[in-house]
Structure 1
Amino acid sequence: MTLDQTKAEALREMLAELRRLAALPLERGQTLPPHAYTSPELYEWEVERIFRREWLCVARAEEIPQPGSYLRLDVLGTPLVITRDEEGELHALSRVCRHRFMDLLPPETVPEQGCLKRLTCPYHTWTYRLNGQYAGQLAGAPLMQRVDFDQAGCRLPAHRVEVWNGFVMLNLDPGAAPAAPELHELDLRLSGHNIADWVSVHTQTWEGVPANWKVAVENGSENYHHMGTHAATLEPVLPGRDTEVHECDGRWFTMFTPLSDPERDDTGPGRHPRSDQGPRPGMLIAGIFPQFVLALLPDSAVSIRWLPTGPATHDTRITAMVPPGVPDTPGFEEQMVGIRAQIARIQEEDLVAARGVQRGLASHPAPSNGRFSHLERPLWQFQRYLAERLL
């Protein structure tokens, strides 16, 4: 058997195991096998069947606030720029010049975001339009008059983009169905929060995290680990054991963790009934597979986006948001110091977990499949999502 045949057989075996696991009920659910988090062959299959075909959350629309605004992105090795035209519409364009493949917005010399009238290649000054239906169209190519060159037919490739609750969703597949219908039920669950109007107040990125992307997504899709990983930060105020995971299936999930009740009877599994009939304060988590989670509190929210960068590495980008007007309230800047520190501390705790899990996955002999708690229902659902996309 050749090396390519051996790799193909290994991939078939992993997909067969995924099929078996996805068919199990939650009560008998098991984790994916270790090689599902380390295999280069499975990773390439995931990139092709999921990340190059699925709607991915890549930004907040407010990051491209006005006509001429741009935001530079790199998605799975694809250099992109999101722009806004004079009608307020967003466009996702390739950043690769059609002449000699130069990055139109090289990070060595150009800010990640800003405002410009046209894209101008810094190599040979070819320029591209950004207005409306002509976005990406070549506008000028100096000294090309003496050669046979169809300037009118030269255009930057464009990719599909939608805005969902203020988040920019990108799809690299021109034939993909729209994002909105699949997320309609989730919209209903989030409708009372009006997060489309919320404003970002802090963003931080961790690049090259040494763990498979699924390790990070699974960690962010359950609160069971609060009692261990976040014992001194989240668990005292948002006890993982109290999380209510909602019944749902498909691409998205939600769960709710009430804030800690000071009158809780710690000798028993429940809490004393509330004396009022108002909504319970707590944290609503909404996740959209394959790479997005939103943790929503009454007065703030944190969104987390993961993008794989290899079989055992990924990038994490976390954004804190608050309702409109909150940044203008007295004392908000002082509050932000605490918000930034808290986000960094919790993420560092999660990084310890992610790195530790990845080391465990690579150990020899390979560990056997684990079992799911009822609090890990979204991970069981994630397996079913993976099976639908990969098989």
Structure 2
Amino acid sequence: MARDIPDDGSMDGLRAAATAQFETARAMPPGVYTSDSFLALEMEHIFGQEWFCVGRSSALSEPGDYLTCDLAGQPVMVLRDNDGQLRAQSNVCLHRMSTLLQGRGHARRIVCPYHAWTYNLDGSLRGAPAMSRNSGFCKDNYRLPQVRCEEWLGWVFVSLNPEAAPVADALSALEEMIAGYDMARYTESFFEEHVWDTNWKVLAENFMESYHLPVCHAGTIGGLSKLDEMICPPGHAAFNYHTILKDESLRIACAHPSNDRLQGDERRMTYLIAIYPSLLITLTPGYFWYLSLLPKGPGQVHIRFGGGMSDDFAGDADAAENFTRLKTLLDEVNVEDRGCTEKVYRGLSSPLAQAGHLSHLERPNYDFARYLLSRVEAGQDAA
């Protein structure tokens, strides 16, 4: 049963923010971030229905490689099966309902840590100790429920919604836009998981605008970020983006000499892409990094953080040194972003917090508000 629209004012505030003309628009109101009832709507109508990115397919290169996540209350495992196919399925044992796999790793088979019921990689039950005296038990009747799973340009998405439209259909315009970057050939070199004390939307919006770069990132990339070179076009139904031009002194952010796919300013153009609801990608001609976000209550967010270099740079003698410098820079930027976004959440949780008008450089934030409203209202209408 669908949840009722919360009566704490958060929906009315979101509706006002999302339906205003952009030229007069304000940021989303505090209740959209702090309300337990609004988060419940997000879990039901967004994370329970949309595609969620669990990471890069290169992390699941061999049969038995797996990763896990909890999506809208459902533990999910994603793995490469013995046929070489990516597969997502319930991560809950069909006996006494323990979770099965944890984190990321490699397994030849799936063994329940509670009673050792054992499953094949395709989810079929392989064996169950001490069950021969139960006349109703038949091993062939047990198979882990399957979950939608698709790959797009090296990204792995899962959805609990069996009727979700294919990922590639929703992102065809984006795929055409960034074709010259050949994103499928970017290799993930690191992956980490973090929990920050802020709302998931605060962190998502922080990524969606570069207005804050000269201030929040004054110690790192702020000096290389020029507000007058930031382009923030209207968003699309499934994503928004903006672009900035990187200084050519940051060589690993620019196209490799061997790259003949990008021309002119494209060779130093960075795309900051927000794929709804919560995959955030910084894509430069030389490297990429990403955040994939899941809420842990209104005031905490679980972050899947990864990245690496374009394969164009793989053969360079200084490739390892370049990556080390990149990772050091990204860690420093993350420290700055964590400080900023946790301050924002503390501020918007205060009784006197008020949402101000948006800059023209915050167009993606406006489009994000419109996306949130459309999904929550559509879910209510369907109910």
Distance in 2, matches of 1:84 and 1:260, equals 40
- 1:20 matched to 2:16? The reply is yes
CA contact (8 A) 1:294 1:304 kept: yes
Q: Judge conservation of contact 1:38–1:311 (CA < 8 Å) in 2.
A: yes
1:359 aligns with 2:346: yes
How much does 1:250 deviate? 1.5
AA matched with 1:310: G
2:367 aligns with: 381
Report matched runs for 1:170-319 at 5 Å: 170-207=158-195, 209-260=196-247, 278-280=264-266, 281-319=268-306
Equivalent of 1:80 in 59, 71, 76: 76
Residues 293-338 of structure 1, C-alpha deviation per residue, up to 9 Å, x if partnerless? 1111121111121111111110222212212263453233333332
How far is the alpha carbon of 1:102 from its aligned partner?
Answer: 2.1
Correspondent of 1:167 among 152, 155, 171: 155
Q: CA deviation at 1:377?
A: 0.3
Q: C-alpha distance in 2, partners of 1:295/1:173? A: 27
TM-aligned CA distance change 1:27 to 1:191, over 3 Å: same
CA contact (8 A) 1:11 1:42 kept: no
1:44 paired with 2:40, answer yes
8 Å Cα contact 2:63/2:80 also seen in 1: yes
Q: CA deviation at 1:61?
A: 0.4
Distance (whole Å) between structure 2 residues aligned to residue 200 and residue 229 of structure 1: 26
Deviates more, 1:48-57 or 1:338-347: 338-347
Distance 1:348 1:20, change over 3 A: same
Which range moved further: 326-335 or 290-299? 326-335
Q: CA–CA distance in 2 between the matches of 1:237 and 1:355? A: 24
Deviations 1:112-151 (A, max 9, x none): 212x332122322211122xxxx11112112212112132
Gaps of 5+ in 1: 1-6, 263-276
Q: Structure 1 vs Structure 2: percent identity of aligned residues?
A: 32
- Gap change, CA 1:85 and 1:370, over 3 Å in 2: same
In 2, Cα distance between equivalents of 1:297 and 1:321: 11
Task: Render the CA deviation track for 1:194-225: whole Å, top value 9, x for unaligned.
Answer: 11121111223222x11111100000000000
Q: CA deviation at 1:12?
A: 6.7
Q: TM-score, normalised by structure 1?
A: 0.87
User: What is the rounded CA distance, in whole Å, between the counterparts of 1:8 and 1:106 in structure 2?
Assistant: 34
Q: Matches of 2:339 and 2:231 in 1, distance apart?
A: 26
CA deviation after TM superposition for structure 1 residue 10, in Å: 4.3
Instruction: Give CA deviations for 1:267-314 in whole Å, capped at 9, x if unaligned.
Output: xxxxxxxxxx82341311121111011111121111121111111110
Aligned to 2:94: 98
The offset of 1:21, in angstroms, is: 2.1
Please give the per-residue CA displacement for 1:57-98, whole angstroms capped at 9, x wherever unaligned.
111001110222222333344322211123321111222111
- 1:201–1:320: 8 Å Cα contact kept in structure 2? yes
**Cα contact 2:48–2:71 (8 A) shared by 1:** no
Q: How far apart are the structure 2 equivalents of 1:309 and 1:348? A: 20
Relative to structure 1, is the Cα distance of residues 59 and 371 closer, same or farther in structure 2, using a 3 angstrom cutoff? same
Q: Is the alpha carbon distance of 1:151 and 1:254 closer, same or farther for their aligned partners in structure 2, counting shifts above 3 Å?
A: same
Q: For 1:67, what is the secondary structure of its paired residue?
A: coil
- Distance, in Å, in 1 between the alignment partners of 2:145 and 2:216 is 44
Is the partner of 1:257 in helix, strand or coil?
A: strand
Encode CA deviations 1:174-213: one digit per residue, 9 max, x unaligned: 2322222111101101111111121111223222x11111
Structure 2 SS opposite 1:330: coil
1:137, 1:18 → 2: CA distance?
A: 45
Q: 1:244 deviation in Å?
A: 0.6
Distance 1:97 1:301, change over 3 A: same
Provide closer, same or farther for how the CA distance between residues 136 and 320 of structure 1 changes in structure 2, counting only shifts above 3 A.
same
User: Structure 1 20/136 Cα, relative in aligned 2: closer, same or farther at 3 Å?
Assistant: same
Distance in 1 between residues matched to 2:274 and 2:123, nearest whole Å:
33
Is the CA contact (8 Å cut-off) linking 1:72 and 1:113 kept in structure 2?
A: no
Q: What letter matches 2:199 in structure 1? A: N
Q: Which has the larger Rg?
A: 1
Amino acid at match of 2:108: K
Indicate the residue corresponding to 1:270 in structure 2.
none
Q: Is 2:119 aligned against 1:128? A: yes
Q: CA deviation at 1:29?
A: 0.7
Cα shift at 1:341: 1.5
- In the alignment, residue 165 of structure 2 is paired with which amino acid? A
Unaligned 5+ segments in structure 2 are 250-262, 378-383
SS at match of 2:79: strand
Q: How does 1:142-161 map to 2 (within 5 A)?
A: 142-147=129-134, 148-161=136-149
The reply on whether 1:117 has 2:108 as its aligned counterpart is yes
Aligned length: 360
Deviation at 1:20, TM superposition (A): 2.4
Amino acid at match of 2:326: I
